Structure 1
Amino acid sequence: MVQTPPRVLTVAGSDSGGGAGIQADLKTMLAHGVHGMSVIAAVTAQNSLGVQGYWELPAEAVRAQFRSVVDDIGVQAIKTGMLASPNLVAVVAELLGDVRAPVVVDPVASSKHGDTLLANDALETLRTRLLPVSTLVTPNLYEVELLTGHKVRERADMRGAAEAMLGFGPSWVLVKGGHLEGEAADLLFDGTEERWFTSPRYDNRHTHGTGCTLASAIASRLALGDTVPDAVAAAKEYVTGAIRAGFPLGEGIGPVDHAWRWRDGF
């Protein structure tokens, strides 16, 4: 008898270039053997050079997509990404409040190229509405500073950043230290125990989609039954391989390779 795989839902923006956003999420989910589903919250015109424009969808369209998937198909984990505006953040937070599946929030604030993807007036809604319903939030250092005012200059600062993020209500926080010098070190914290995840730093500029990929990999592993620490460990290993195999695309920054495990086996 054919077994239905675990189902994971991404609520995020579409990346027309295919390297990040909904497209990266679904590729990552496929690579982990889960069934990926999507609620598109925004559409971007985006390529290897940056984001040329974005258009958020109406709240009723986001709500309808979510209800259509969750009420019929069901979910074992949810990942959120680009939500853009206070209204969309509030709508998604409301929808997530009725779901028992673990929620991984990637608080996307800007693109790899520095293009703004989250309105300044959405920060407070994210803090007060979305983070309290999240199982795990995965900010990079720029997002930590935006949300908490806590600037991380070295690895020793990451514990304080994690504590500040936990103050908004998530069960766990993964502070990503990839922008610091040295090995790529991320801190997972639940208010009690520090868990560090490190990996070599590869000399590869083609890293578009890293944050989306990591959060989606974590959500996929949670749907497969991993604990949060085990899910983060497995996702870190996967995204490190994807970064190592990132390839050039267009005239700018190329994407990580979501199919690196398959290509390694060819």
Structure 2
Amino acid sequence: MSRIAYVNGAYVRSDEAGVSINDRGYLFADAVYEVWSVFDGRLADAEGHLNRLDRSLKELQIMQPMTRAALLNVLNEVIRRNRINEGMVYLQISRGVAPRDHVFPSHTPPSLVITARPVDRDAAARKAEAGIRAISAPDIRWGRCDIKTVGLLPNVLAKQAARERGAGEVIFVDQDGYVTEGGSTNVYMVTRDGVVKTRPLNANILPGVTRLNLLPIIHNSDLSLREEAFTLDEAKAAAEVFVTAATSLVLPVVAIDDHRIGTGAPGPVALSLREAYIDQARRTAGS
């Protein structure tokens, strides 16, 4: 069936949808986005993503296109019209359409686009059971990675380099040798004595919603959790490394720069946390 998109007030076929060439998201990457997982036809971690969206819009001084209740109705209608049971929803809000000028336009309504697609959960599970390889790269992104903007060219180039080397993710490293995050994920390591570490949030780290919901699961388990920076060398020497995002959920990393992590196979901590996160996401989806 043809996919259905929501574009500025209308539900249209995706292959017929379009935005203006003067949209500031196209001209300046002057836009933010969010991605939700969909479980059993319902949005996962809905409030967390909406809260982060609100913050991103506020940081860039972009107007809300509609109330939260109205936006939820549109998101759920896109899911319904596309008959998504297991899948993803993508939302993008730009500052709107205006003649090209760096300064903000006055009285310009924001542009809103929402799309959805199915996800093969069985294939995703097989990927997690095998784990992925990663490469490292210098973190050359802008200093406000805490805002979820569409300005992702450094991420695109780094993830392309990872693909060309047969890897599934890139791990960014700052100038002091510390891991910041992945190309589209938050990064964690498990020490040899079973402590889970992930870098604390700051301007260089996106506040991942999957991260937000996974940390309490770790707290309530038998695992120890430390939000502290760790180096690339520490990650390579770890018992386990894994990444999280709405697109990948919890995904084990079995090698970095061709260096085997632990046994070279997905570890029990990552796999158990993946199972626990998915169980919680399914139980709470739509709430």
Same fold (TM over 0.5): no
Task: Looking at secondary structure, tell me which structure has more helix per residue.
Answer: 1
**TM-score, structure 2 as length reference:** 0.25
Task: Looking at secondary structure, tell me which structure has more strand per residue.
Answer: 2
**TM-score, structure 1 as length reference:** 0.26
Larger Rg: 2
